[in-house]
Amino acid sequence: MNDSLRHKGLRKKLVDGLKIKGIRDDKVLEAIRKVPRHLFMESSFINFAYKDQAFPIGAGQTISQPFTVAFQTQLLDIHKHDKILEIGTGSGYQAAVLIEMGAIVYTIERQKELYIKSQQLLPPIGYFPKFFFGDGYTGLPTYGPFDKIIVTAGASSIPEKLKLQLKPGGKMVIPVGGKTRQEMMLVTRVNETEFKSEKFGSFIFVPMLKGVVKL
Ligand code: SAH
């Protein structure tokens, strides 16, 4: 794995920038300091890996901006051994950040190309999420319930099926809105029947789409 001192230095700078932008959770900052983000990007974008920007990862998708990854992760208040469902594996970067924090990650991707690519990338560099190919709108009912759910694509509404896969006390972070802009929502399952939702500002994600895309 090519992770040089220069990459490490750039990551430290990125983390300093995230602190200035308001990321306070030390466990999140430490994970971003450790995960070699440049390995998750296409080689032509490697010089941009540690800029706080989203970049293409193939199949018309993007790796989320580091600030967005940090913000969603911070909202989830991750603890060691948390069982987490991620919708939208994409490059696998967000999954790696969660694993670095000690979480057990189940991740679903609807595009076969990315599902395959992320499985080739993550295990060799030491990250072992459980990978699934499918439509995240259904979640993983047979593997749930989960402590936390993170949706990394913009949904038009909060999927009922995902809410029901949260443990009581569990939290889901999900960007909800139209095609161009979404509101970051944090949904807490207060108990078996009650849910609470809170809003945390607007973000831009690729859309959460129904069905799967085969090769
Ligand atoms: N978490 C990713 C972000 C990728 S962008 C990362 O760290 O790189 C969002 C991803 O969500 C895309 O790969 C897209 O294909 C996927 N996606 C969109 N709708 C989905 C759905 N219904 N089920 C599963 N994945 C979905």
CATH code, domain carrying 181 = 3.40.50.150
Cite the DSSP H helix spans in 77-130: 93-100, 112-121
What is the residue with the minimal CA distance to atom 11 of ligand 1? 88
Domain count for the chain: 1
Domain for residue 69, yes or no? yes
In this prediction, residue 42 carries a pLDDT of: 82
Ligand 1 atom index nearest CA of 137 = 22
Sequence-separated (6 or more) residues with CB below 8 Å from residue 20: none
CB 124 within 8 A of CB 148: no
Domain for residue 25, yes or no? yes
What's the gap in Å between 12 CA and the centre of ligand 1? 27
In this prediction, residue 141 carries a pLDDT of: 97
Ligand 1 atom index nearest CA of 94 = 7
Q: ∠ at Cα 31 (164, 132), nearest 5°?
A: 40
Query: Does 127 score more than 70 pLDDT?
Result: yes
The predicted model gives 44-57 an average pLDDT of 88
Ligand 1 atom index nearest CA of 213 = 15
What's the gap in Å between 122 CA and the centre of ligand 1? 16
Give pLDDT tens digits for 173-200.
999 999 999 999 999 999 999 999 999 9
In this prediction, residue 1 carries a pLDDT of: 64
Any bridge partners for residue 56, and if so which? 62
What is the residue with the minimal CA distance to atom 26 of ligand 1? 88
Query: Does 46 score more than 80 pLDDT?
Result: no
Pairing of strands 130-133, 146-151: unpaired
Q: For the chain, what is the mean pLDDT?
A: 96
Nearest Cα to Cα of residue 37 among 77, 97, 105, 90: 97
Domain for residue 215, yes or no? no
* H or E segment to which residue 14 belongs: helix 5-20
The predicted model gives 136-141 an average pLDDT of 98
Q: Residue 199: is it exposed, middle or buried by C-beta count within 10 angstroms (0-12/13-18/19+)?
A: exposed
Cite the active site residues: 64
Question: Sign of torsion, CA 113 118 124 129?
Answer: negative
The residue to which tokens 């594996």 are assigned: 89
Query: Does 44 score more than 80 pLDDT?
Result: no
Domain for residue 212, yes or no? no
pLDDT band at 47; cut points 50, 70, 90: confident
The predicted model gives 12-25 an average pLDDT of 97
What's the gap in Å between 166 CA and the centre of ligand 1? 20
Domain for residue 74, yes or no? yes
Domain for residue 19, yes or no? yes
Domain for residue 11, yes or no? yes
In this prediction, residue 31 carries a pLDDT of: 98
Q: Which two tokens stand for residue 109?
A: 């991707």
In this prediction, residue 151 carries a pLDDT of: 98
Report how far residue 42's alpha carbon sits from residue 161's, in angstroms, rounded to the nearest whole number: 34
pLDDT band at 40; cut points 50, 70, 90: very high
Query: Does 128 score more than 70 pLDDT?
Result: yes
Cite the DSSP H helix spans in 21-107: 26-34, 66-76, 93-100
Domain for residue 118, yes or no? yes
Ligand 1 neighbours (beta carbon < 6 A): 57, 61-64, 87-88, 90-91, 93-94, 108-111, 114, 135-137, 152-153, 206, 208-209
Domain range holding 51? 5-203
- Residue-wise burial string across 152-170, b where 16 or more C-beta atoms lie within 10 A, e elsewhere: bbbbeeebeebbebbeeeb
Q: What letter does residue 208 receive in the DSSP assignment?
A: P
